[in-house]
Amino acid sequence: MIRQVPSASPINPMLPSPILPGAWLGLLGGGQLGRMFAMAAQSLGYRVAVLEPEPDAPAAAVADLQITADYDDPRGLERLGALCAAVTTEFENVPAASLMWLAEHIEVSPTAASVAVAQDRGEEKRFIEGSGLPVTPYALINQESDLSGLTESIWPGILKARRFGYDGKGQARVEGEESARRAFRELGGVPCVLEKRLDLDFEISVVVARSADGSTESYPISQNTHVNGILSVSAVPGPRVDPELAKKARAAALHLAMRLEYVGVLCVEFFVERNGTLLVNEIAPRPHNSGHYSIDACASSQFEQQVRTLAGLPLGSTRQHSAAVMLNLLGDLWFDREGKGPSEPDWAAVLRYPGARLHLYGKREARPARKMGHLTVVAEDPAKAREEALSIAALLGIAPW
């Protein structure tokens, strides 16, 4: 039997009543983002059920219940819908049809339509452009012949699969048509987006939260550094982020959330060119790696906001009370330079630093380039946070910048 959508709010009949602590909240996806969502929900008094096919997934270890099934499994979805008052997702590649089915019976945020935009890089580009915001010059490559006769200005570029790419996977740097044709075949001949490689100054991201009533909150802007296509470090406040740039980025992110009629937590990533031009890179309909600092440095974390938006509670404060530098901890740390391992890093030595806040995701197997956790260094000022983060990075043998 499917649980019914909550009754209307007595304050605003157009909105459902808040889902109060003690209720069950559902989650599609069992990765580390789901793990941190579950912990935030439980701290507010909710119980959490996770639908996830892998039995040892990070979120499953902390959730109150795991439904071990594929994301489009009818029985699994029915069980989740029968138990929970509302459902969210921890990654954008959950089948939109599953979200649509659940939405017929219970509260679901973000909506299937919002998630679908971010599932396809081509549709994402079109949506952002249609919202009046600039993006990197690009071309849609649905078949190899589409690479013929492109304008010279688009080379060199990056060829990206339109679906299922993340952390540098599903993409290749190309210098011209010949190398792009090889890369297209190596990517399996799937529909792609060809983006021009730009002379970037740096990258930033904005995490925003939007409620069903249209109220919004945005977090301080994060300045990000990537290594091999994977986020390595986020600094907040960003050393290159001036007030005018922050204002523009925040306004653009909130504008996209409004255009999507988005309910939930949304991250918008931006490129900043050397001439100061701000370009939208991509959107993520969920909490984001670059927002993990909010757990330790803000009044309310991005994961608490995800719970609040899902349950229809008032948004929390995004006030930043400490400067922060977040370091991603990849599986490479478990191996020495010769590739021998795995062995556990010396966390005791790391935690001797007063600003260190360690978050490990409970993954059973360390592999190179796999996100195993993150470390946030908090301090009273940005220089102190960066200094301590550099010392910890040196201790671990990583070069985050």
d(CA 368, CA 362): 16
Q: How would you write 326-374 as a 3-class SS string?
A: EEEEEHHHHCCCCCCCCCCCCHHHHCCCCCEEEEECCCCCCCCCCEEEE
Distances (CA, A) of 195 to 115, 118, 179: 22, 16, 14
Q: 24-108 belongs to which CATH class?
A: alpha beta
The Cα–Cα gap between 394 and 316 comes to 36
With contact defined as beta carbons under 8 Å apart, do 285 and 266 qualify? yes
pLDDT in tens, the chain (401 residues): 344 445 444 445 556 789 999 999 999 999 999 999 999 999 999 999 999 999 989 999 999 999 999 999 999 999 999 999 999 999 888 998 999 999 999 999 999 999 999 999 999 999 999 999 999 999 999 999 999 989 999 999 999 999 877 666 788 999 999 999 999 999 999 999 999 999 899 999 999 999 999 999 999 999 999 998 899 999 999 999 999 999 999 999 999 999 999 999 999 999 999 999 999 999 999 999 999 999 999 999 999 999 999 999 999 999 999 999 999 999 999 998 777 888 999 999 999 999 999 999 999 999 999 999 999 999 999 999 999 999 999 999 998 77
Tell me which residue has tokens 């909105």.
15
List, for residues 125-144, the tens digit of each pLDDT value: 999 999 999 999 999 999 99
Query: Using CA atoms, how far apart are residues 51 and 221, in angstroms rounded to an integer?
Result: 32
* Residue found by looking up tokens 């001949």 in the block: 189
- pLDDT tens sequence across 135-185: 999 999 999 999 998 999 999 999 999 987 766 678 899 999 999 999 999
Tokens representing residue 203 in the block: 């990258």
Q: How many residues does the chain have?
A: 401
What pLDDT is stored for residue 336 in this prediction? Answer: 84
| Structural domain spans, the chain | 24-108, 137-196, 200-396
Per CATH, domain 137-196 is 3.40.50.2300:
no
Nearest 10 degrees: Cα torsion 233, 209, 83, 45: 80
Helix axes 112-119, 121-130, angle to 10 degrees: 110
User: What residues form DSSP beta bridges with 88?
Assistant: 27
What pLDDT is recorded for position 14? 59
Say which CATH superfamily domain 200-396 falls into: ATP-grasp fold, B domain (3.30.470.20)
Closest CA to 300 of 205, 382, 208: 208
Give pLDDT, residue 169: 76
pTM of this prediction exceeds 0.85? yes
Query: Both ends of the chain: CA-CA distance in Å?
Result: 52
